Amino acid sequence: MSIKEKNILDIYIFLNIFFIFTNYIYNIQVPFIILLTLLLLLTTIKPKFKININFNEILFLNLGIVFFISAILSSDMDDAMKYSIGFFCLIINMIIFSRKNEINYQKIEKYILFFSSIHVFATIIYQIYPDIIRKLLPLFLRGSDLTRNIFEFNNNKINCGITPIQSLNAFYISCFIMIIFVNLIKNKNKKVLNICFLIIGYIALFLASKRGVLLANIVSSFYTFSYDKYKNKKLSILTILKSSLIIIIISFIGYVFISKYIPSALNIFNRFNQSDMTTGRSNIYKIVLSKFFDTNIILGAGLFSSRSILKVNIGVISDVHNIYIQLLVEMGIYGLISFLITIIIIYSKFIKVKINKYNNKLLDYALYFITLFILYGLTGNDLFDLTMSSIYFFMIAIVFSIIRKEKI
């Protein structure tokens, strides 16, 4: 790779992560993703350039085509087509990026940690000194986004940080937790520091009051830890007990700190005790699924058609908050099966990858976030959000890059 190509790739990496953590401010997602795709293509298309697509990439391209077909069938074709174009560009980015052999993954780690830490500390400061963040909010949010943020904080005790919605804030905080947790299990010299930062990350996540993301992070942590120790042949009952004890201690310290200094954050537990654990989502699932057989069960009703269904039935435009149900209704049996097969293939590749000094930490990052993404999909709409999907495909690219090197 030439120096020019390396420079372009470095610019691409920075812009991509910058986009992930700031696009809600200027809200030009699709044009920016297209620009990133063109930038990445500059490092790829050369004389005698040949396209060589493998089976793993075909699975994702098929998923991109499913989104395009669903957009064509959609009653809201404008928004659906914009999203499907952005989604397909993310897949192209992933395929090209995974073929680059000289990527500085340390830069990716540092960029994600830097931008995500801004959201973590903004969330905590908002809870302790709300006036400070309120003065800064107009720099990040405008109009209805600003109004929603303040309303959620004042009326519902939900801390959105400097973002318009709690799910996005929780997503950014999760990126911070992912980086810190992986460094905790990899870096023996900075365990105390990493534990402190992990506690801070979970405090911020509690403040965001997003239960699905909280549980997904906990499960992802255990799964990544078990995978890491298993691959390194260090998994034992004692190791599991030690790690469980650390998690319990971190949780206890975090709870004591919140109880004493930020008692309003304990509002999240009140939400757990509500009669409907999903705060109305079970009703949403029933309504959407009841319309499934009224549509094309093979190809679905079309991308974002669930919003129209919910508007007619409950008078509110809402997402389904379950990517699997949304895939089934909007993209049919074929769309859901395509996505599930792709997930299964990715996890099967993890098992075959051999641990070495190069890929050790990278695999943990990828596994953590992919697991988080899939689990959060049970109560969220991360697959139908270009911001969250962007970093998901970033992690898939890491896996594919390692798979290609090991010829799995």
CA distance 381 to 307: 12
26 token code pair:
């200027």
CA-wise closest residue to 20 among 73, 334, 12: 12
Give the residue from 285, 297, 325, 330 showing the smallest Cα distance to 87: 330
What is the residue-level pLDDT of the chain in tens, covering all 408 positions?
577 777 888 888 898 899 899 988 887 778 888 888 887 777 666 655 566 788 888 999 999 999 999 999 988 888 899 999 999 999 998 988 888 766 777 888 999 999 999 999 999 999 999 999 999 999 999 999 999 999 999 988 889 999 999 999 999 999 999 999 999 988 878 889 999 999 999 999 988 888 889 889 998 998 888 877 766 565 455 555 566 566 666 666 665 666 666 665 555 555 444 444 445 677 888 888 888 888 889 999 999 998 888 877 776 667 788 999 999 999 999 999 999 999 888 878 777 776 665 557 888 888 899 999 999 998 888 899 988 898 898 888 888 888 777 666
Cα 42 from Cα 35, distance rounded (Å):
11
pTM of the entire structure?
A: 0.86
Question: What is the CB-side half-sphere exposure of residue 150 using CA atoms within 13 A?
Answer: 16
